[in-house]
Structure formats: structure tokens, C-alpha cells
Amino acid sequence: MPTTNSEQETLNAMALTRMDRFHPAGVRELYKRLGSATAVMAHRTNIQEVIPDASRYLIEGLANADIALARAEEEMEYDRKHNIATIDISDGRYPQRLRECADAPLVLYYLGTADLNARHTINIVGTRRCTNYGRDLIKAFVSDLRDLCPEVLIFSGLAYGIDICAHTEALDNSFETVGVLAHGLDDIYPRVHRDTAIAMIHQGGLLTEYMTHTQPVAKNFVSRNRIVAGCSDATIIVESAAKGGGLITCSMARSYNRDVFAFPGAVGAKYSEGCNNLIRDNGAALITSAYDFVNAMGWNDDVRLAEARKKGIQRDFFPDLSEGEQAIVDALKDTNDQHLNMLSAATSLPVGQLSSMLFEMELKGIVKPLAGSIYHLIGH
């Protein structure tokens, strides 16, 4: 049983996700209209008083919420015993980039060590039938990325082909990497990737919106792609046939106004057709290397920062601040040592833009990053 208000909120959010006929975007809209999962549950017997246009499905689902609550309590107990973090959308640990998406899940289940709000996040996706060309591209890309921009969290889906290559290369190059699953955390699919998944728990993590005992059915793989796309600053597709899950992830990323990149392939090559079509139709920017990608994203700042730290950052006592930088300073003056997520909420700045501003402010000696994506205003 929950012992705090935050645990009760998490439990109620878990229960909401169990109600039949609810689409993720519909659940999120319901949550937003009433302000919390607890508020929704408080009106489960009289929801029409606060939402007059409530559908019959919503009324029936909430009236039978006790079944969903019982299942949520069972899941919460399992998660406690197995060190699984149950993260509802109001939790500071929830990926802020994903929270910005209209169809973000109310609850995530996470087993791992990586900060899901890392400074830079990408996903690498593509066909399950990758060729040696695709494997070589990933190997070179991740290796070069290590030198150009080492502070990147790499997401993928732990599937065959491009996904598992991306995770493996990330591990080999000391990147943290997170696998987004289409089932609960009581199993690994495909099981042949179990050893890699275990390594990822200690150097990244495993993430899902599904409770335990959820089977990896086809629709779940499509649904999880929105989490892969939503958690990332950019989507990189390496190889894809004319149709495939990687292309779905690219489409979702574009709908979230995130950057999409594709590696080209030979004309007529079956598993490059999807990438070539994306580039032709302006659905993705063409890249041939990690250098292209880092330059396009403006992430070559990491090298500048490393050099500045070596020399010693000199504080500018009279800095010229942009409007956004001033908003950050004002927020930190009110409450210093804030998490990236809290700063994003306080300043209304998207995480990607906020991260870039914080970088420039660190170079100016205005802020100092602390462990766990916490930022400190120097001199206050």
C-alpha cells in the first residue's frame, strides 16, 4: 500500500493506464484537465460533474477502477521487491523531453542507472535485418561520437539488427544506453539479448510503459516507438527497407519537432531504400559520419567545454545575458540548485534549448553543473 501522497499519485496513475479503451493521448488529456491522477480517481463515481462531455467508456472505466487499482498495487509491490523505479509523469525523474509529447505515457517503469534527462540524447534505429554495411556504419558512428561528443545517452529498442548493434557499440564505447521495451520488466525479448540487457542495467537501463506479465505483442512495438522518439533530441536511422518500424519512429520524431537523420545507401539496395526515400522526400537530413551529425546538432560545444575546464573557466562578473539566460538566472535566484526538469518548467524553455543555454552560461562562469543534472548559480 502507498505510504505517501506521491506514492498514491503514482498508484492512481498506474491504475489509469490499465483502463480499457483508453488511448495514451486520451489518458493524458484527462490527466491534464483535472491536474492529477489522484483528482481523476477522486471523481471516479461522478466524473460527469467535472467533465460533462465524458464518454460512456470513460464513465464505465472509472466506475470499475477498483480492479485497475488492485492490479496497480500488485505491480507496485513487485517493483519495490525488484528495485524497479515506477516513475509517473509528475516525477522529476520522468524524461522531460517525453513529457513534452501529447501522447506521453502517464507512467514509466525503469531499471537502470542512467539519468533519463541527460544533456544530449539520441536514438539509433533501423531494420532488424541489418547488413554488414549497417553494422560498419554504427561502429564508426558511435566510436567517432565518443571523441566528438562523449556526453550522449543512446536509446534504442533492444530488437534484432540495428537496435542491438547500437546498444552493443554504445556499451563498448562507454556510452550509457537505454533499451525501450514492448513488454514488462519481468522478461527480456528477444531472450538472446539477455546478456546485453543485463549489462545495460549497469550502464544505462531498461525502460517500458508496460506492467509485468505484459506480452510483447505487435501493437506494443509500434507504441513503444513513440517513447524512443520522445526521449531523444534526434533520431538516426541507419538502414531500412521501404517499410519498417524505424520509419515509424522517424515519423513520430518529426511529429514531436525533433531532428531526424538518415545514412544513405546504394541505389537499389533493399535495406537502404527507406533511408534514401526519407532523404529524397526531405523527411531526414543526410549524414555520412558522426562529424556531420554533431555539427548539424551544434553539439561540438563539448570539446570547447573540456578545453575551457582544463584552462579554468573565468567568471564574467558583468555578462551580457539573453532573455532566456536571464530567465534561468532569475529561476535559480529564487531556488538555487535546481534539476534540469524543474528549470525547464520554471523558464518554459524546452530541454534541448535549455541545455545549450546552460552550456554557454557555464563557459561564462555563471552556473555550475552538479551531479544528477542539477545546476547551481555561482555566487548565490
Domain ranges, ordered by start, for the chain: 5-112, 120-297, 301-377
Q: Which fold has domain 120-297?
A: Rossmann fold (3.40.50)
What CATH number labels 5-112? 3.40.50.450
- Give the pTM: 0.82
Class of domain 301-377: mainly alpha
Based on the number of CB atoms within 10 Å of its own CB, is 66 exposed (0-12), middle (13-18) or buried (19 or more)?
exposed
User: What is the pLDDT averaged over residues 291-306?
Assistant: 78
C-alpha cell, 296? 548539424
pLDDT band at 1 (very low <50, low <70, confident <90, very high): low
Mean per-residue pLDDT of the chain: 90
The whole-number pLDDT of residue 212 equals 97
What phi-psi label fits residue 21: left (phi over 0), alpha (psi between -120 and 50 degrees) or beta? left
Q: Render pLDDT for 230-279 as a digit per residue (tens, 0 to 9).
A: 999 999 999 999 999 999 999 999 999 999 999 999 999 999 999 999 99
User: What is the pLDDT averaged over residues 156-175?
Assistant: 98
> Of 354, 162, 340, whose CA–CA distance to 250 is shortest?
162
The whole-number pLDDT of residue 306 equals 60
Q: Render pLDDT for 100-124 as a digit per residue (tens, 0 to 9).
A: 999 999 999 999 999 999 989 999 9
**Fold match between domain 5-112 and domain 301-377:** no
The CA-CA-CA angle for residues 143, 146, 152, to 5°, reads: 120
Above 60 in pLDDT, residue 309? Answer: no
C-alpha cell, 155? 536509446
The whole-number pLDDT of residue 321 equals 86
The whole-number pLDDT of residue 305 equals 57
Whether the link from the prior residue into 52 is cis, omega within 30° of 0, is: no
